[in-house]
Amino acid sequence: MEVSATDPHSISTPLCHEDKGIHSDDHAIRHVDCEIGSTPNSTMEVPATDPPSTPTPICHAGEGIQVDGDAMHNADDETGSTPTQIQVKVKIVISPGNNQYYVPTCDPLLKPYVNQHFSFVEDGIEFYRRYAASCGFDIRLGTTRRARDLSITNKYIYCSREGCDAQMILNNLFNKRELSNAFFFEYDTDDKDHLTRLFWADPISRRNYAAFGDVVSFDATYSTNRYNLIFAPFTGLDNHRRIVTFGSGLLSKEDTDSYAWLLGKFKECMGRTPLMIITDQDPGMKNAIERVLPSTRHRYCMWHIDKKITERVPHCKNPDSSFRKKINEVIWSDVLEPVEFEKAWGDVITEFALNNHIWLGKIFEVRYKWIPAYFRDDPLSGLFRTTSASESVNSFFDRFLNRCSNLVEFFMQYDTALAAQRHAQDQLNSETTISIPTMKTPLPFERHALVMIYTKKIFFEVQDAIADACFTCRILSIFDDGLS
């Protein structure tokens, strides 16, 4: 868009142009509106037979912007490059060159028109900003040309593809929902129509939740795109003890309302709440879970806390100290009762003179949120108890996602990660079906466990327990009807 101050400020009809010289990394799309007030370099004509626009924008970046079946054509840049023809409903004919250009479909009240007048240049910029937001893109201010007396003669405004990323993603999600009713997504925007919240889950993710969704890990520690939107996946463990994704969200804020919105959409999508949800110690997340999932047991991720112990306690940095070994024996034990844990914790803290350590005191106060001794009676509470399981949840997406990605690149990386995850799951399912491990004992329930109950991965764990019971344990006494 070009605004000229030679006359009372008029504005011409916008033209879409991808000027790769403006911003090479994001392929900015430039909207060119001819000079205002002075004799324009090109004349514009809007055919009277063109139908009015409808306010349903769908914006695509690339060779042009697709809008609800209509498209804005790439305009000539200042070097005179020739655009490519795109068929649309609304068109504008500009000379010289007799080329055709197109405007996006939007609310007629927001659409600029030929020789539109504004009292000030700033008014024209603000009008165009609202127009861009309604069509699904953003703008940035470009070159300002001034006369010898420093008065503004022309002002350029550009629209960047970055502003179209969110609309492109929403279009893709809408298309997926049209192809499958089981595809679920919801989104929210702010008063400037910027994407602030998004949740989505495909049919496979929803089926995985139905099978393995009793315990859910919800981690919002990933900042994986250039817009600083927080990536928050809902994950669990499948019957091979491998990570499985139930759904994912993007948030612009890490506050209680945002988390509550995301958890609410997750609950709406899945139709039931998990027995337990595992998160970090974010207070906003804690409040949101209490609000949206009051019947779900909330547990803090031990892997996050274990990492902080290493960072915050000086003894952990001393290779000669036995603190790390002794504290691990206490916090990771699944055989201690709560009273036994509290005594063992106090003994270690006293031994290493850490009674006045503020952070250790705080995590001890919330011990019922993360210590296994307080979850012994909860079903499936041991799924994320081990360090390896918790760490794998946090590291899986890190292998695929790039913090410098835009939204389109992020979703491509996300789909790649999900495909890799599901391919590995399919391979394990196939191995369980076609392979038969060697039996270690003649006991019939060992073979029954393989054939009827467990996957191959879990069977090996059960088989080791059976073998240990047979070959490494001895009978101390036998009771029959209470008599030895």
Contact 296, 275 (CB under 8 A): yes
Residue 259 confidence (pLDDT):
96
Contact 349, 330 (CB under 8 A): no
User: How crowded is residue 18: how many other Cβ atoms within 10 Å of its Cβ?
Assistant: 21
Spatial distance between the Cα atoms of 246 and 231, rounded to a whole number of angstroms:
14
**DSSP class per residue in 67-123:** ETTEEEPBPP-TT-PPP-----SS-EEEETTTEEE------TTT---TTEEESSHHH
Using the structure block, give the residue that is written with the tokens 């007629």.
108
Residue type, 81: S
Spatial distance between the Cα atoms of 370 and 64, rounded to a whole number of angstroms:
52
Residue 442 confidence (pLDDT):
83
pTM of the model as a whole: 0.65
**DSSP class per residue in 8-62:** SEEEPPP-EEE-TTT-TTTT-EEE----SSSPPSSEEE--TTSPPP-S------S
Structure tokens at 473: 């344990």
Spatial distance between the Cα atoms of 268 and 89, rounded to a whole number of angstroms:
39
Question: Residue 250's closest CA among 365, 405, 475, 55?
Answer: 405
Residue 223 confidence (pLDDT):
62
Span 198-210, pLDDT tens digits: 999 999 999 999 9
Residue 76 confidence (pLDDT):
37
**DSSP class per residue in 278-325:** EE-S-HHHHHHHHHH-TTSEEEE-HHHHHHHHHHH-GGGG-TT--HHH
Contact 381, 215 (CB under 8 A): yes
Contact 250, 196 (CB under 8 A): no
Question: Residue 344's closest CA among 354, 356, 333?
Answer: 333
Span 179-238, pLDDT tens digits: 999 999 999 988 877 889 999 999 999 999 999 999 999 988 666 556 778 889 999 988
Distance set, CA 308 to CA 1, 126, 302, 305, 320 (Å): 52, 48, 10, 5, 20
Spatial distance between the Cα atoms of 194 and 174, rounded to a whole number of angstroms:
17
Residue type, 82: T
Positions in the chain whose pLDDT score sits under 70: 1-105, 114-115, 133-138, 158-164, 221-226, 379-394, 481-484
Report how far Cα 174 is from the mean position of its chain's Cα atoms: 17
Q: How many CA atoms lie within 13 A of 168 on its CB side?
A: 20
In the 8-state DSSP scheme, what is residue 82?
P
Using the structure block, give the residue that is written with the tokens 């106090």.
346
Using the structure block, give the residue that is written with the tokens 């081990």.
386
b/e map 370-399, b = 16+ CB within 10 Å: bbbbbbeeeeebebbbeeebbebbbebbee
Spatial distance between the Cα atoms of 478 and 69, rounded to a whole number of angstroms:
81
Residue 18 confidence (pLDDT):
34
Structure tokens at 155: 């002002």
For residue 93, with 0-12 CB atoms within 10 Å meaning exposed, 13-18 middle and 19 or more buried, which class applies? middle
Residue 208 confidence (pLDDT):
95
Distance set, CA 297 to CA 125, 221, 255 (Å): 52, 21, 20
